[in-house]
Chains A and B, each alone.
Chain A
Amino acid sequence: MHVESSVRQKLITNINEYGQITDDISRPIEAAPNKTWLLWTTISAIVMTIGFALIGWTIWEGIGVWGLNTEVGWGFDITNFVFWVGIGHAGTLISAVLLLFRQTWRNSINRSAEAMTIFAVLCAAIFPGIHAGRTWDLIYFGPIPNTRGTLWDNFNSPLMWDVFAISTYLTVSLVFWYLGMIPDFATLRDRFKRQGKEMASKAYGVASFGWEGSARNWSRFEVISLILAGLCTPLVLSVHSIVSMDFATSVVPGWHTTIFPPYFVAGAIFSGFGMVQTLLVIMRKVYKLENYITIEHMENMAKIVLATGSIVGLAYSTEFFIAWYSGSFFERYVFINRAFGDYWWAYFAMFSCNVITPQLYWSQKIRQNMTITFILSIFVNIGMWFERFVIIVTSLHHDFVPARWANYTPTFVEAGIFIGTFGLFFTCFFLFSKFLPTVNMFEVKTLLHHPKKPAGIPQGVKDEVSHSHH
């Protein structure tokens, strides 16, 4: 039973009946796809196809079609990888960490945020596969015994840890997401059956695994959801910590930094919430979900962006302070070069987007204004992409031997692959928003105040009792 204080703002507004929740969330799935949806899905699919064609070109021709050189060996590829993995973190934070903290406002947004996580990690997973070149040699990444020569994987390498972290993260997130959808698939199955839509009912029926809502299975379901949340919480922290160790365990000035794990995790949550804001501002409007994803939900997310953005800002300052305080000539040089060298514009973009933008959320007026929230969330996305670019490229392009110094300019192939991942991400997200329940129906139903009603009042009959607080 859901009990909350009467002075608190309601988590979902203007909803009186359980049936109404099913109606509202099923509506986009039942409706024929409209022209706007078809247009945007087609555009995304075309962009995705171009991206995949350029990946094919990279594999055919080799890494030489990229702008990398012997000095800057990681450019757009790893920048995009870290960017997309980071985006994913907000989904797990919402679905797992907020579940452990009993933050029930997550119930309306966890489904779409988890979907975002999975699509973002899919985009990320492309890059490690193609960045090393000679993709067909990936077979040697598998565990091959040293009896045939030194082919055994180097388990001391964070790059190896990353393989395990990302694959665990992707599959466990996928299972968590799917498990949460099973009861909603059952709802759709029975709803389409009542409407006489046999095909749709069959399709959701297969996906629903025969769920019938038995109390015994609800009891198990809730326990395993909680345990999955408990497993996902350290998992999500470990994933970006390990990603940060790809850099932090090296001896490259600008990378060799002990604050990287917490700094990367905060940045990941910051960028992920930026992306959740971007998506939800549009989704709540297009699918008329304002009663489910209320202004309060959007405000809560803005506050998380403010908090994590401030942590990121603190991390930037700490890095500079430590570079000076270390007394290391190379450390000092790298950080001054980062802010004032050839890539000053990238640093400027990063700093202004990530440190200044979120501070605007101190104002409630801005937090409640969806147009400004949307624009700021785009800035956060841009800033966090530049953060990874700055860390990777500025640390590499001027190393210990000045004769080797070189700058990095991406080619259209790299840029195209990056834009192509946005195509993949949005194609997946548009398909999700059309064919799957975008809001977790059964979890939102638990938030509804249910007034006592006399027997025999069917669904859909509005009553004034439900508006009053108890």
Chain B
Amino acid sequence: MKSNLIVAKFWNPDTMMEALADIHHKGVPVYDCYTPFPVHGIEAYMNIKRTRLTIASFIYGCLGLGAALFLMAGAYGQWLYFDWWGLDIINWPMDIGGKPALAWVDFVPIGFELTVLFAAHGMVLTFLVVAKYYPGKEAKLLDDRQTDNVFVVAIDGDKIKAEKEDELMSVLREHGAFEVSKTA
């Protein structure tokens, strides 16, 4: 957690949003907000851009489809024997009930499943890496009720001129913050 933050706490997301709208209008940059649940519309006041995790998910999905085709065509088996361009399905075709070995329509279900598998797991893992979440990580909290019923707005004190600080803190109080303080 960054040092030197101006922290305002609210009981109510509506009042928090009003305060955010006002300080955003005044050009105050918001460091981050901490809320018990997602508050919609907050992104606009914090200049949060749309996440690129969706694009990542699409790329993982394509990789999954590729992996499925690679597996089903039997390229994998040939790779083990250093035949980089050979396909099991052509070199050693299996005759089961007279059906063609390389029947691409039959590859649709597994192609689809592995696309979903890679897209879902890849996206969630990327999220955990980007957001730096991992099992056992110590949570850095500004208020231990921010996961329960307190809505916290944090403003970077370094980006506020010293003489403007008191004014900002009183604006936050006027908007209904029940506690406004500064961290070390």
Contacts and interface: CB of A to CB of B under 8 A. Distances in A.
Interface of A: 1, 17-19, 22, 143-147, 150, 152, 154-158, 160-161, 164-165, 167-168, 171-172, 175-176, 179, 182-183, 186-187, 189-191, 193-194, 205-224, 227-228, 231-232, 234-235, 238, 242, 245, 442-443, 445-446, 450-459
A164 to B, nearest CB: 4
A1 B36 CA distance: 13
A176 B116 CA distance: 13
A209 B48 contact: no
Given A175-B120, A205-B138, A458-B178, 9 more contacts: A18-B148, A165-B109, A183-B36, A190-B141, A213-B34, A217-B131, A219-B48, A224-B57, A245-B109
A151 B41 CA distance: 56
A324 B116 CA distance: 40
B42 interface: yes
A180 to B, nearest CB: 11
B94 A214 contact: no
A209 B144 contact: no
Given A182-B133, A206-B136, A215-B42, A152 B110 contact: no
A131 B88 CA distance: 29
Contacts of A442: 36-38
Interface string B107-140: 1011011101101110110011011111111111
Contact of A207 (B51, B53, B135, B173): B135
A211 B146 CA distance: 11
A306 to B, nearest CB: 30
A210 B137 contact: yes
Contacts of A219: 38, 42-43, 48, 51
Nearest to A189: B139
B14 interface: yes
B54 A227 contact: yes
Contacts of A227: 53-54, 57, 119, 123
A156 B103 contact: yes
A161 B109 contact: yes
Main secondary structure of the interface of A (DSSP, over half): helix
Contacts of A235: 113, 116
Nearest to A444: B37
Interface string B148-168: 110000000000000000000
A2 to B, nearest CB: 9
Interface residues of B, number: 80
B38 A22 contact: no
Contacts of B130: 220
A94 to B, nearest CB: 18
Contacts of B149: 17-19, 22, 459
Contacts of B53: 220, 223-224, 227
B85 to A, nearest CB: 15
Nearest to B61: A231
A146 B102 CA distance: 14
Nearest to B103: A156
A221 B40 CA distance: 12
A50 B65 CA distance: 42
28 contacts: A1-B13, A1-B17, A18-B149, A144-B77, A150-B92, A152-B74, A155-B106, A165-B109, A165-B113, A168-B113, A190-B146, A194-B144, A209-B128, A210-B133, A211-B139, A213-B36, A214-B33, A215-B32, A220-B131, A224-B127, A228-B120, A228-B123, A231-B116, A442-B36, A443-B37, A455-B15, A458-B11, A459-B149
